[in-house]
Structure formats: structure tokens, C-alpha cells
């Protein structure tokens, strides 16, 4: 049975306010990924295929995780995150919506940005919502059609989009999923009768020991 495991990248540069500056792991992000790799190997996990997006934080997470020990790493830009910093900047310029500086602020901010993006209200976006949705569907369909267990290292927004497609979520539900997804969290799907079945969401078992709980991060 085809089996797909999606992993969000480790903690990135939390001080960043643009796409380029954000796209690198913090020291904690590397440690989170290393702990996840040890956890997977300790549990006897096996993957016949490994995929990553083309972003730096995806590659760094895969490297610190030791993903190449499972299988050759295939880079696919369709697995890249949507440009949330750019969308937020455009929302501020066009609608006066200030970019928040804390997670609580993002709880209010993200649904407004995603809804405006989906409805085509933001001008001059780097990628339309329709194009993003289509590339996510195409990438996941291709991975699902392959043989053996697949490991995919990507970003929270893309994982949230896959959840949205699987569970038919509205924009608010999509935003809630994105906000909940933790760094290096594990999400699993099984293909049943040709359709994806969500089997696990947001597992951080590798960070649940008392001396690692400090490493359970969202941003």
C-alpha cells in the first residue's frame, strides 16, 4: 500500500521578515531534524523514496535528518512553500493589514491573507492560489503513484494544503492547520482505493521527552 510521510522543516530564522532571510535553519532547527532522524531509524522506519522541495531549509532539514541514508533524495520545486512574507507585504501595502510579530497575531492574520489570496483580491502576487493548489495536487498525485514508502521534507503551508485537499477544509480550517503544524512534525497518509487517507497528524514524538519539550516550536 502506498504510504507517504510528510515532514515540516526544522525551525528556520525566526527573526526574518522576508522570504530569503527566513530560508535557513536555526541551530535548534538542525537539532530538531537530527533528533527526528534518530527517532525514525530507532523505530526501524524504512523509506524507498525521499523527496524535498528546492528551498534551503528543506535541504538542510533532510541533511540533518540523515534522509540520504534511506534513499536517494529527489528535489522537486513543486514541494516549495507559498510566499507568505510576500503575500503579507502586499496585504499591508494594498489593504493596510499590518504584519504581526507574534504567533497570536498570526492566528488573526493568516486567515485574512489566505482568503484574500484565494479570492484573487491581492494584486501582483508571485504565484496565484490556483497555481499553488494545482502544483501541490500534481506533486502529491505523482508521489502517491510511486512504489514503496515515501518521505517528503517540505513546509507547513504545503502540508496544510495537502490536509485541506484531503479533508475538504475551508480557508479558516486550512489556516488553523497551518498554524498548528510544528517544526519537524510528522504527518502520514495511506492510499486506500486510490484516495489519500490521513493516518497521522503533527506527531513530534522525537521531542516529547522532558529535556526536549523546549524544542517544540511553531515559528
- Measured over the CA atoms of residue 115, residue 121, residue 126 and residue 129, the dihedral's sign is positive
pLDDT in tens, 122-167: 999 999 999 999 999 999 999 999 999 999 999 999 999 999 999 9
Give the per-residue pLDDT at 1.
Answer: 62
Q: Give residue-wise pLDDT tens across range 18-39.
A: 888 889 999 999 999 999 999 9
Q: What's the pLDDT band for 188 if we cut at 50, 70, 90? A: very high
| Cβ proximity of 144 and 4 under 8 Å | yes
**Computed over its alpha carbons, how large is the radius of gyration of the chain?**
17
Q: What pLDDT does 214 receive?
A: 98
Question: Could you tell me if 7 and 40 are in contact, meaning their C-beta atoms sit under 8 angstroms apart?
Answer: no
Buried b vs exposed e over 115-136: b needs ≥16 C-beta within 10 Å?
Answer: bbbbeeebeebeeebeebeebb
DSSP 8-state code for residue 213? G
Q: What is the pLDDT of residues 33-84, one digit of tens each?
A: 999 999 999 999 999 999 999 999 999 999 999 999 999 999 999 999 999 9
Amino acid at each position: 500500500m502506498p504510504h507517504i510521510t510528510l515532514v515540516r522543516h526544522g525551525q528556520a530564522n525566526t527573526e526574518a521578515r522576508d522570504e530569503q532571510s527566513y530560508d535557513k535553519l536555526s541551530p535548534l532547527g538542525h537539532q530538531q531534524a537530527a533528533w527526528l532522524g534518530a527517532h525514525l531509524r530507532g523505530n526501524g522506519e524504512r523509506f524507498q523514496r525521499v523527496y524535498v522541495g528546492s528551498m534551503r531549509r528543506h535541504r538542510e532539514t533532510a541533511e540533518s535528518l540523515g534522509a540520504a541514508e534511506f534513499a536517494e533524495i529527489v528535489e522537486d520545486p513543486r514541494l516549495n512553500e507559498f510566499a507568505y512574507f510576500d503575500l503579507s507585504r502586499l496585504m499591508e501595502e494594498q489593504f493596510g493589514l499590518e504584519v504581526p510579530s507574534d504567533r497570536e497575531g498570526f492566528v488573526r492574520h493568516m486567515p485574512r491573507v489566505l482568503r484574500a489570496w484565494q479570492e484573487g483580491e491581492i494584486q501582483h502576487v508571485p504565484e496565484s492560489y490556483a497555481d499553488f493548489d494545482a502544483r501541490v495536487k500534481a506533486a502529491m498525485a505523482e508521489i502517491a503513484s510511486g512504489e514503496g514508502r515515501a518521505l517528503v521534507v517540505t513546509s507547513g503551508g504545503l502540508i496544510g494544503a495537502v490536509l485541506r485537499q484531503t479533508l475538504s477544509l475551508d480557508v479558516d480550517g486550512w489556516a488553523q492547520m497551518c498554524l498548528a503544524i510544528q517544526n519537524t512534525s510528522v504527518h502520514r497518509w495511506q492510499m486506500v482505493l486510490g484516495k489519500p487517507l490521513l493516518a497521522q497528524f503533527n506527531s513530534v514524538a522525537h521531542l516529547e521527552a522532558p529535556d526536549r519539550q523546549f524544542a517544540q516550536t511553531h515559528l
